Structure formats: C-alpha cells, structure tokens
Amino acid sequence: MRPVMRIIWSLGVIITMGVAESNEIPFFIFGDSLADAGNNNYIASLSKADFPPYGIDFTLSGGRPTGRFTNGKTIPDIIGLSIGKTMLPQPYLAPTTKGALILPGVNYASGASGILNVTGSLFAARIVLQQQVEYFETTRMELVDMLTEAGAIKFLEKSVFTVTTGSNDYLINYLLPVSPMRARYTPDEFQEELISQLGVLLMRLFSLGARKFAIAGIGPLGCTPFELSLNKSTNGICISQSNNLVVNYNSRLKQLITQLNSSLPDSHFVYLNTYDVVMDLLQNYQKYGFENPNTACCGAGGQFRGIVSCLPNIGFCNSDRSRYIFWDAYHPTEATNTLVAKKFLDGTPKESFPINLRQLFSI
C-alpha cells in the first residue's frame, strides 16, 4: 500500500470506528527541542532542525529532516510507537493538523522554549510552554466540536500528556556566563520560580480535562558537549556545578508531582527520572554499546564538538551514529532516546515514579 493511501486508510479507520471504540490512547506532547516534531519549521526561529543531516536515520520520513532535533526518533516518538500508535501526534502548527488528525493527539513542543516566557528569546520565535497550553485550549474546542463536551471529556480522561521542559531555562537563562538571571535570582529562587510557573500550567491542563501526566525531569546538562566545551573541560568529566543545579530542581519537581497526585482527584502524575537514566548511560556507556560518551556526532569546536551545533556540511559521524550518546551539542541520538524511552516505559519507580509509562497508558 502506498504511503498516502496508508494514511488515508488509517484516518478512515479512526473516523469509522469512532473515538469511543478505538483502542489507541491519545497522546499530547508539550516541551522543548527534545520533543519537537517540527513545530519550529513553521515559525521564524533560529532554532531549527529542518535540514540535513537531522533526520538522517528517521525511517518514517525516508531519512529526510522533519524538524526533529536528532538523527532519528525522539523519545515521544519511540513511546508512541511502543504503545501501538499507528500515527504519531503531528505538530500543532502543521496546516494539516486538524479534524481527524488531532484524534491520535497533538505535538505542541518547540525548540528553544522553556517554562519561563523569556526563555529562548535570543532565538527569536519559539512556542513557550504557556503558549503551548493555550494552543491546547484551541485543540480542546475542536474536540468538543467533533465529539460534544461529554465526548471530549471522556476522550481527554484516557489521553496521556507528556511535558519535557526546563533544560533551556537553565542552559540559556542561568548557565551562560552573561546570563542576567544569575544576578537576579539565587539558585533556590530561580528553581522556585520555575516550579511555580510549571505548577500553574499543569493545573491549567488539569482544569481543561487532562488527567494522566508524565513530567520529565532535566537530564545531566553538565555532561553535554556544550557544557563541557563552554567550561573548557579537557577530560570529559561532567561539570558538577551545572549538574547540582539540575539535581536540586529535579528533587523539587518530584515533590510537586507528589503534591499534585495527592491534591487533585482522579489524577495520575508520573515523574520521569531523566537525570539518573541518562547518567547511567554515561557512566556505563560501554555496557550499552556506546563508544563515545561525551562528544557530539554532529558539531564542531574543541574535542567535544560542542561549540557549534549541527549545521549542513559541518561533518558528522557516519556508520557509527549508534555508538554516540549525543547527536549534537545538546541532544541525544536515536540510540540514546531508544534506551531512555524503554526505561520510562517498563522501568522501576527509580526510573519512572510512582508507576511506569506503560502502566500509565493502561489506566
């Protein structure tokens, strides 16, 4: 069956069966470039991944760039395919994302975005988390038009909402040497500002009908090729000052998730322990089949290729892409994303608390 006919056939099944009879769980994705499926293709942003070699291993596009900030699939892609979705959530800003194409869920994530509205402003346009939530409100109105209010409520109760954000708030606002936030906020104050704003937006999603959430903690930013290069590391040892900020934020985020679970009726909030899962890969990289734990596959500048991120014709690893943990200065390879996604899907409470994602999707 030709690809176009396959898409039309899939949509026909969705429409014919009706939402109530479908076994697929709708999947709504919020966040930054770790989850962006192409929204930044449609805005005047300096944060782009719509050119080769991005997407070179993305089999669903035939190796063409889609706007994903990696060589292949993102973690949300892998999660969606692993739980049996026949169609991945499409970027909200894609002109075709309307009608039946919103029923599998929608991806609102945007590269360079963060929890704070100011985050990523140096990249010009981006969809900050608040705007992503406002876009979801529009999607909800479309669902009501298609399904009625009662039908939309039922639809959203079974849906899963993932939020992957916070990395840029630290990388751009607090870890750059010239960041004005460091003079304005102490580390604890900055952390509380982020948690407070995130809590407000999660409550807004809950008020709109979301009930099942997976919130990703921030990974070990001090181990990225960018941070290693910025801090002129010569031995590849992670930057402890950067990682300590992340660890403290993640601890506070987990507290927020525990509070939301206890205070909001019929809600299920899951904390995804990105930091420990990725740190395990970095510390035991050879066990997982990696050969290089701290150098970007695609990039330039210094021994970690972390000064200039991936650009056309900048050069990248070829046959050994799966041997790299990092694709570019900031983002993991598909190989890393696959391992992380599996930990979130089927792991213990150490990786996904209090339940794993497969359990969350089955509730």
CB atoms within 10 A of CB 42: 17
* Alpha helix stretches (DSSP H) within 174-304: 181-184, 187-207, 225-230, 240-263, 274-283
- Written as one letter, the residue type at 254 is K
The residue annotated as part of the active site, out of 32, 33, 159, 169, is 33
320 classed as catalytic: no
Apex 21 CA angle, 17 and 24, nearest 5: 95
- Ordered DSSP codes for 59-126: GGGTT---S-SSSS--HHHHHHHHTT-SSPPEETTSTT-SGGGGTT-EE---TT--SSTTTTGGGB--
Stated as kind and residue range, the H or E segment containing 334 is helix 334-346
The SS3 assignment for 352 reads strand
Q: Which of 281, 279, 148, 260 is nearest to 210 (CA)?
A: 260
Question: Hey, how many other C-beta atoms are within 10 angstroms of the C-beta on 135?
Answer: 18
| Pairing mode, strands 160-164 and 27-31 | parallel
**Contact predicate 127/108, CB 8 Å:** yes
Pairing of strands 268-272, 352-353: antiparallel
Secondary structure element (H or E) that encloses residue 136, with its range = helix 129-158
Q: Which residue of the set 32, 113, 328, 352 is catalytic?
A: 328
Q: Does residue 110 have an active-site annotation?
A: no
- The answer to whether residue 328 is catalytic is yes
CA distances from 352 to 9, 43, 242, 344 (A): 35, 33, 23, 6
Taken as a whole, the chain contains a residue count of: 363
Among residues 110, 233, 322, 331, the one annotated as catalytic is 331
Per-residue b or e along 6-15, where b marks 16 or more CB atoms closer than 10 Å to that residue's CB: eeeeebeebe
Is residue 354 reached through a cis peptide bond, with omega within 30 degrees of 0 on the bond before it?
A: yes
Catalytic machinery residues: 33, 328, 331
